[in-house]
């Protein structure tokens, strides 16, 4: 078991409590952080909406050395942090992470810009209903989807939802960020995990990312959706333990 703390960054609209199941199963120390404006974390002043600005807020919370795990938007932040501070991150784990969230002329495996805009428009009308819709999308196609959805909903209810302005800022980050060029510069040993039936970030995006990173291995988890660390907890921990043992 790697003695370094496992630091976890969650995805858009959620909070650090989504990692409670992982913490209960993991033998080493786990530190789960709230993204700006999510859970118990205060919204950034002026509700900044760039990946680097949010990374600046998270960086002081990282231990001097750690294994960094990021999920979805948290995965993009983890990738940026590993690019900026490789000496502090011994191993990197990217879960349901894509280097570019929206599709474009040269990127077919992203969410359609119009679909992301519908989420943004929905936030303005009814942010709670929009977040509920997004939670359902995350578990669609996954084994034990109802149970996984209940755990996501429980995390939001117990630890606090995200500030609506932070939600809008997070969507802007997802719309604007493109880490395809950055991937080749991250030499930290990396495990990229995707769900076979992920409806939020296509598994082909994870495979592309693993291929672009200099020292990465890729695992696609069968019958998993966007949150395999919740729906497939035992399998997820086994992959994580194998990766850390192999890297060591």
DSSP 227: -
The catalytic position among 38, 202, 226, 239 is 226
Q: Is the CB of residue 31 less than 8 Å from the CB of residue 8?
A: yes
Nearest in space to 133 (alpha carbons), one of 118, 147, 144, 155: 118
* 194 a catalytic residue: no
CA distances from 164 to 13, 60, 103, 170 (A): 9, 24, 25, 10
Angle (CA) 31 32 35, round 5°: 140
Q: Is the CB of residue 46 less than 8 Å from the CB of residue 174?
A: no
Nearest in space to 203 (alpha carbons), one of 211, 187, 143: 211
DSSP 83: H
The catalytic position among 198, 202, 231, 239 is 198
User: Which residue carries 């850390």 as its tokens?
Assistant: 244
The β-bridge partners of 9 are: 33, 70
* 72 a catalytic residue: yes
The catalytic position among 72, 142, 177, 231 is 72
* 226 a catalytic residue: yes
**What b/e sequence results for 167-192 when a residue is b if at least 16 CB atoms lie within 10 Å of its CB, and e otherwise?**
bbbbbbbbbebebeebbeebebbbbb
Q: Is the CB of residue 99 less than 8 Å from the CB of residue 44?
A: no
Pairwise CA distance, residues 20 & 16, whole Å? 8
What residues act catalytically?
Answer: 72, 198, 226
């Amino acid at each position: 078991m790697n003695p370094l703390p496992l630091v976890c960054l969650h995805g858009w609209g959620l909070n650090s409590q989504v990692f409670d199941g992982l913490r209960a199963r993991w033998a080493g120390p786990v530190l789960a952080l709230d993204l700006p404006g999510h859970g118990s974390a205060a919204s950034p002043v002026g509700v900044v909406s760039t990946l680097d600005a949010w990374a600046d807020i998270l960086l002081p919370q990282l231990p001097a050395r750690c294994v960094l795990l990021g999920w979805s938007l948290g995965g993009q932040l983890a990738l940026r942090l590993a690019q900026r501070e490789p000496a502090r991150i011994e191993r990197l784990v990217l879960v349901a992470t894509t280097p570019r969230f929206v599709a474009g002329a040269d990127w077919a495996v992203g969410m359609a810009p119009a679909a992301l805009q519908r989420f943004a428009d929905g936030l303005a009308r009814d942010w709670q209903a929009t977040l509920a819709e997004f939670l359902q999308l995350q578990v669609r196609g996954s084994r034990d989807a109802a149970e996984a959805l209940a755990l996501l909903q429980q995390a939001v209810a117990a630890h606090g939802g995200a500030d609506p302005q932070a939600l809008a800022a997070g969507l802007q980050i997802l719309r604007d960020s493109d880490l395809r060029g950055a991937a080749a510069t991250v030499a930290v040993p990396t495990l990229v995990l995707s769900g076979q039936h992920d409806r939020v970030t296509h598994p082909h995006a994870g495979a592309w990312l693993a291929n672009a990173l200099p020292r990465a291995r890729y695992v696609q988890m069968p019958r998993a959706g966007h949150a395999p660390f919740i729906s497939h907890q035992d399998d997820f921990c086994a992959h994580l333990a194998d990766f850390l043992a192999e890297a060591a």
